[in-house]
Amino acid sequence: MKKLILIFIAFITLVSLNACSDDNSPIFTAKPDVDGIAFTNSFAANYLISQATKENVADRFIWESADFGVPTNSTYELQGAITADFTNFKVVGTTSENNIAVTVANLLEFAKDLGLDDNPATTNTDGSANNTGQVYFRVKATTGTTGTNATFSEAQVITIKWIETVVAGNSCPSLFALGDALTDIGWVFKPAGEMICNDNVLQVKARFTAGNFRFYQESGNWSSDLKFAHFKNEGYTIDANLVDALDGENFKFVGTPGIYTITIDNTKKTIVLTPSTNLWAVGGAVPGGWDFNAVSTIQFVEATPNIWSASITLSNDVFRFFHVFNTWDTKNNFAFYEDAGFEIDSKLVNDGTGDANFKFTGTPGTYKLTINGINKTITLE
């Protein structure tokens, strides 16, 4: 069955959302694709949306070409509606390509049509939060000079959830993480140790090793510290890799050294460490080919927070990255980084397929390939 592959990414590209009347196009006279075009992949359990992230890409819909039985160029239209019958649908985008990015702004429009909002004081009749609803999507393929021959995919429902705003008084200032457990920071106030607050959640990514650290409320002010006991007494659940240093002051990191994102959620009252993930390059252009091989598959290690690099031999073929070894997906393909606003080396291009692979077009040889999530660049040296 022709498939429409949904890629979940949330980032920069904005697709206009246009209102449309009922679709009355007649069924095609050219030979239709017997199987049609259909959704075959599993969708995310829900999509989180907010005004603050409206310019981000929520997901990219990708599909294979429709088959009308004769050589022809097709036009594709991604439609969305708040009812399964598509009585009143909106056109998310039209293209002759095989993919369309759906932005958070698109989903916000559907949320408004459903009567949802981000106000925690607004509830449904049963008292539940009025911030979650369902949206239906389908893709329409047309062919012919007048576009009168058409076929549709089956409808697929997704769940959207509008993130409720934090009530007044629950916003939080930055915190600063310092200590010998933070390899690149130490006991020095640095921008790299600043934990920025967003919706009452503070985060920073840092390299951890065995040692102690603690948090400070004001940069340069040693008396503004928040000790381990403060969070324990406030009822926070603390990650098992972080324990009381038993010195009356510090956290002690007892986990495996490496890069972690530390998250303090002041609403849920949790402190969580999430380890970084490496990337693996797989494809015809790279060593190991289209197999995950512990010996030959090139691993891109995040040696510095948000920067992955490796020496890799490239030939004139295609490849893409995977963030879980031996797990196939398309979350780290060319389109993912392009949508996120990365400036990509000119020797790497989109291969134009539904998988949106990287295609190497330069002189075959060994290069240092670096993915820099701080500067948003992908470079070859």
pLDDT over 50 at 1, yes or no: no
Position 235 scores a pLDDT of 93
Is the fold of 2-162 the same as that of 279-380?
Answer: yes
Nearest to 56 by CA among 111, 107, 115, 132: 107
pLDDT attached to residue 300 = 94
- The yes-or-no verdict on residue 151 having pLDDT over 90 is no
The predicted-structure confidence for 301-349, as pLDDT tens digits, reads as follows 888 888 999 999 999 999 999 988 888 877 889 999 999 899 999 999 9
The gap from C-alpha 55 to its chain's centroid, in whole angstroms, comes to 13
Question: What distance in Å separates the CA atoms of residue 3 and residue 139, rounded to the nearest whole number?
Answer: 11
The pLDDT tens digits of the residues spanning 67-102 come to 766 656 788 898 999 999 999 999 999 988 888 888
pLDDT at 369: 97
Mean pLDDT over 354-376 rounds to: 94
- The pLDDT score that the predictor gives to residue 35 is 52
Domain 279-380 -> CATH class: mainly beta
User: Taking 80 as the threshold, does the pLDDT of residue 33 lie above it?
Assistant: no
Q: Tell me: the pLDDT tens digits for 38-64?
A: 766 567 888 888 876 777 788 888 777
Please tell me which residue, 148 or 110, carries the higher pLDDT value.
110
Going by CATH, does the domain composed of 175-275 fall within 2.60.40.3620? Answer: yes
b/e sequence 303-317, b meaning 16+ C-beta within 10 Å: eebebbbbebebeeb
Q: Is pLDDT at 121 greater than 90 in this prediction?
A: no
Tens digits of residue pLDDT in 196-207: 888 889 999 999
Residue of higher predicted confidence among 323 and 187? 187
Please report the beta strands in 163-224, taking only residues with DSSP state E, as ranges in sequence order: 175-178, 194-198, 201-208, 211-216
pLDDT surpassing 60 at residue 18: no
Contact 280, 247 (CB under 8 A): no
pLDDT at res. 146: 57
The CATH number of the domain covering residues in 2-162: 2.60.40
Domain boundaries in the chain? 2-162, 175-275, 279-380
Angle, CA of 94, 99 and 105, to the nearest 5°? 70
What local confidence, expressed as pLDDT, does residue 314 receive? Answer: 96
Report the predicted TM-score, pTM, of the whole model to 2 decimal places. Answer: 0.49
- Per-residue pLDDT, 69: 66
Digit-coded pLDDT (tens) for 207-223? 999 999 999 988 888 87
Decide if pLDDT at 28 tops 50: no
Residue 22 has a pLDDT of: 41
AA letter at 374: I
Residue 21 has a pLDDT of 37
pLDDT the model gives residue 153: 84
Task: Evaluate whether 283 touches 292 at the Cβ level (below 8 Å).
Answer: no
> Which tokens belong to 167?
């009530």
Residue, of 45 and 186, whose pLDDT is higher: 186
Q: Mean pLDDT, the chain, as a whole number?
A: 83
What's the confidence (pLDDT) of residue 15?
A: 35
Q: Hunting for tokens 């402190």 — which residue is that?
A: 271
Instruction: Give me the mean pLDDT over the 287-291 stretch.
Output: 92
pLDDT of residue 39: 65
Using one digit for the tens of pLDDT, what is the confidence trace for 241-255? 999 999 999 999 999
* Residue count of the chain: 381
